[in-house]
Amino acid sequence: MVRGRSMAFVGDSVGRNQMQSMICLLSRVEYPIDVSPTSDEHFKRWEYVNYNFTLAYFTTPFLVRSKERDSDGPTHTGLFNLYLDEFDESWTTQIDDFDYVILNAGHWFTRTAVYYENRRVVGCRYCQLPNITDLPMTYGYRRVFRTAFRAINGREKFRGVTFLRTFAPSHFENGLWNEGGDCVRRRPFRSNETILEGLNLEFYMIQLEEFRVAERVGKKKFRLLDTTQAMLLRPDGHPSRYGHWPNENVTLYNDCVHWCLPGPIDSWADFLLHMIKMEARKTYKERLLQSGKKMQ
């Protein structure tokens, strides 16, 4: 189905996680070769030679132009300048030739940041800087998706399909990620044991609202790859403290954001496959309709 096609994952490390899942699943058929144009691990490209299928990954955790302002910051997790209305050209200028673009962002928005619009500071998220208004993180989150969709809608040569992969909640319990929180459950939640609420719900609703606006104002193909509810039910699917090789002498936070491989994230490939099938059927019907009109 993807012979002669190309697919780009654009976003944060959970997007990379999804791509790694897909590479693992496809390894039953073929291993790709690394054809990355640079040694930068933030921008990778693989090719499946026998299928002429290309996978690429563009690291852009905020989707818009950003810069680290302070490597420490008030919460010791870095303070970032986010230019909410400016494109991150490291990916926006690279997508024209891709057939499928899978867009995601989320977990980095809990970090402290200074928000810029029209090159001026408009506020911040817990930056603790004098004379700067504190804004909710949802302020920045909404605007980066608006800007990312505007960038895609503005790419004249881009003819592909953009899938918005919705926010996948983390599952820290008994503390925040940097305060000893962990995820040690061994079975999924039942549907009556948890609900989508708080920040998870806000992020999800913002994505849906901005997605609908992008669909309405543009002429590009946008599709919703909705993983949120499915992943909310899988607190058992994260690496926790096992997110590195056993022989590595490293001190890491418990990882309750990314997903084990194999693991629940592999289901995203099933969702995506179904959607690509639906897309192929729709394109086929459109071509039939067009050829019928030409013959009349």
13 annotated active-site = yes
13, 36, 240, 267: the catalytic one is 13
107, 171, 238, 258: the catalytic one is 258
Nearest to 48 by CA among 63, 70, 26, 69: 26
36 annotated active-site = no
Structure tokens given for 174:
């008994």
Output the CA–CA distances (angstroms, integers) from residue 181 to 31, 109, 127, in the order listed: 36, 18, 23
Alpha-carbon torsion 248, 172, 183, 13, what sign?
Answer: negative
- Contacts of residue 191, Cβ cutoff 8 Å, sequence gap at least 6: 233
Contact 90, 37 (CB under 8 A): no
134 annotated active-site = no
42, 236, 255, 291: the catalytic one is 255
State CA 191 to chain mean position distance.
25
Rounded CA separation 125/263 (Å): 33
- Contacts of residue 78, Cβ cutoff 8 Å, sequence gap at least 6: 68, 70, 71, 72, 111, 112
Rounded CA separation 39/169 (Å): 31
Q: Is 103 helix (H, G, I), strand (E, B) or coil?
A: strand
For 253, which DSSP code?
A: -
Rounded CA separation 100/9 (Å): 9
Instruction: List active site positions.
Output: 13, 255, 258
